[in-house]
Structure 1
Amino acid sequence: MFVSEIDMLSPRSLKECLYILENEKASLRLLAGGTDAVVRMKEGKWRPDCWVSLKHVEELRFITIQKDEIQIGPMTTHSEIIASPLLQAHADVLVQACQEIGAAQMQNMGTLGGNIATASPAGDTIPALYALGAVIELTSLSGKREMDVEDFFIGPGKTAANPNEIITKIAFNVRDKNDIGIFQKLGPRKAQSISIVNVAVTLSMKEGTNQCTGGRIAFGSAGPTAIRARKCEALLTLGALTNEMIANIGKVAWKEVMPISDIRASASYRRDMASALLERGLYRLMKRWAEDGKQSL
């Protein structure tokens, strides 16, 4: 099969797209930024009868705030997320994750919805969305439904979306002034690399101290889907985030991840790096917290 030998539909509105998904009898696959599509087609893994391009569905590209909720359209590109002052202020962990997705060309073409729908265990934005407690909105001709991002992924390349549904919104709460976050990634080279392992962390801090009142930790490339590290999270609030406490949390992470061995890294190496990345991320967050003058020394 040559990549050029494909059929494609290009709806101009969400309603038209949903009608196609509901009524077309051929096997279909949605095409967002297309950064993975050509590679997968050459590998023979994605061979629908017809692609449905979302390029012209402009109503799916937005970054807005409604009351205390930030909303992002699935066709919003990684570059648009990186450049957004709103997301820089309230979702820096997602901004940092998008900065790690390939080179500028990939960031200009790739979309948040595409990264989510591909459902790769190594997808960089997915742990960030776990850490933000994001909610995914799915829409069909029958209506809308919402689900927590953690429930959306059911396996490598598999999601809970029905064939007639499309992601129409990604939403999460505006963070508090004392919330901080970080994304850490280990790849085989600086740019355009798939994660060997990555981690996203968000913390809610008590001003004037290094005491954490709550937090989320999520790993990518450490299991069949992104992994929420709940045992590590439970340790965050047990005491001040001292160097000793951070080291203990890193040790728990080594046991909590469930990586596999593949061509890029062994399971043992991934465990070691997951632990090290989390420790490094927590150290950097505490340093930033102190430098911002919100921790009494």
Structure 2
Amino acid sequence: MLVSEIEIITPQSVNDCLLLLSKNETEHRIIAGGTDAVVRMKEGKWRPAAWINIKGLKDLRYIKEKNGAIHIGPLTTHTDIIHSPLLQKRADVLVEACREVGAVQMQNMGTIGGNIGTASPAGDTIPALFVLEASIELQSINSSRLIPINQLFTGPGRTVIKPNEMITNIIIKPQTENEIGIFQKLGPRKAQSISIVNVAIMLSMASNRECLGGKIAFGAVAPTIIRAKKCEALLSLNPLTDDIIENIAKVAWKEVMPITDGRATAEYRRDMASALLERGLFRLMRRWENK
């Protein structure tokens, strides 16, 4: 099938889109920015009989604070997130992740909902959403449900999203004054390619280098994004001195579960996961001390 032979349907509202999704008459797939879709189609994948183009649904593009949480529409672009004063102040780890999503052109076109829906284990925004304890709102024509992001993915490219559902909202927990976050990525070319390894870190700090707790999420080291629970348990046991940080990073080497593929060996990914975590923790300590 040629790309030009694929039907594109453009709904005029979210409700129109949900009506289309409720009909199982043909194989369909939602498209927004299309940054992943074009690549997959060229590879001979993602060839549905019809694409549902939701790029024009402006009701799904927003960033707002409501009832103590931050709500982000699925059609919000990476550029929108990068330039949001609210997210720069209350979710800097997500802003940093979006800065690493491809070139500027991809940041302008790509959407956070698309990054989630693609369900790539190397997706840059997803580890950041893990440490921000995001919940994903899924809506169908008759109902909606809220899924914690750590329950959304079932494997590479696979989620619990049903064929008649679409992402309509991403809800994150804002960072408090004593929380600091960072996103670290290793790719073949800076900010231009899929991650070989990435990590998002969120720490809740007290005085000096005393950590009250934290969250660490790795990408591209397992079939889905993983939380490094063993590393997290060590964060609050002692002040985060240089020696303690180095020891925590060594634990990460054993906690990740990477594979060997065309981009890197499993051993290299383990080494880099440990190195990125160590570098990220050192940088966070410098930020905290200079705050």
User: 2:78 corresponds to which letter in structure 1?
Assistant: H
CA contact (8 A) 2:132 2:174 kept: no
User: 1:211 corresponds to which letter in structure 2?
Assistant: E
For 1:191 and 1:23, the matched residues in 2 are separated by 39
**Structure 1 residue 24, shift from structure 2 partner:** 4.3
For 1:241 and 1:191, the matched residues in 2 are separated by 29
When normalised by structure 2's length, the TM-score is: 0.99
Map of 1:107-256 to 2, 5 A cutoff?
107-206=107-206, 208-256=207-255
**Structure 1: gaps spanning 5 or more residues:** 293-297
User: 2:71 corresponds to which letter in structure 1?
Assistant: Q
1:128-150: CA deviation from partner (whole Å, max 9, x where unpaired): 00011111110001211001101
- Residues 1:273 and 2:272 aligned together: yes
**Structure 1 residue 4, shift from structure 2 partner:** 2.1
Match of residue 295 from structure 1: none
**Structure 1 residue 190, shift from structure 2 partner:** 1.4
1:17-72: CA deviation from partner (whole Å, max 9, x where unpaired): 00000024100000011001111011111010100001111111000000210000
Which 4+ residue blocks in structure 1 deviate beyond 6 angstroms? none
Give RMSD over aligned pairs.
0.8
Alignment: residue pair count: 291
For 1:133 and 1:212, the matched residues in 2 are separated by 19
Match of residue 73 from structure 1: 73
- What is the aligned-residue identity percentage? 62
User: 1:268 corresponds to which letter in structure 2?
Assistant: E
User: 1:83 corresponds to which letter in structure 2?
Assistant: H
**Structure 2: gaps spanning 5 or more residues:** none
CA contact (8 A) 1:120 1:225 kept: yes
Deviates more, 1:15-24 or 1:278-287: 15-24
Match of residue 46 from structure 1: 46
User: 1:132 corresponds to which letter in structure 2?
Assistant: L
2:192 partner SS: coil
When normalised by structure 1's length, the TM-score is: 0.97
User: 2:261 corresponds to which letter in structure 1?
Assistant: D
Match of residue 5 from structure 1: 5
1:121 partner SS: coil
1:217-265: CA deviation from partner (whole Å, max 9, x where unpaired): 0000000011110111000110101111101110110000000000000
Deviates more, 1:2-11 or 1:47-56: 2-11
CA contact (8 A) 1:3 1:38 kept: no
